[in-house]
Amino acid sequence: MTGWFDLAERDDWPTDPFELLTAWLPANDDPARPIMTVITVDETGAPDGRTQLLTEFDAGGLYFHADANSRKFAQLENDPRVALVIALLDDKHQITVQGVAETPPPGEEDAAYRRRNVYLQQLAWQNTHEFARRPLPERVAAWAAFQEEHADGFEPPVSWAGKRVRPTRLTFWAGRDDTASRRVEYRRQPDESWTVEVRAG
pLDDT given at position 4: 55
pTM: 0.91
How does residue 12 score in pLDDT terms, banded at 50, 70 and 90? confident
> Looking at the predicted structure, is the pLDDT value of residue 19 above 50?
yes
Q: Which residues contact 26 (CB under 8 A, 6 or more apart)?
A: 32, 33, 34
Contact 117, 33 (CB under 8 A): no
Mean pLDDT of 108-118: 95
154-192 pLDDT tens trace: 999 999 999 999 999 999 999 888 888 899 999 999 999
Using CA atoms in the order 135, 136, 137, 138, what is the torsion angle rounded to 10 degrees?
A: 50
Domain with residues 3-117+156-200, CATH architecture: Roll (2.30)
Contact 82, 38 (CB under 8 A): yes
pLDDT given at position 2: 46
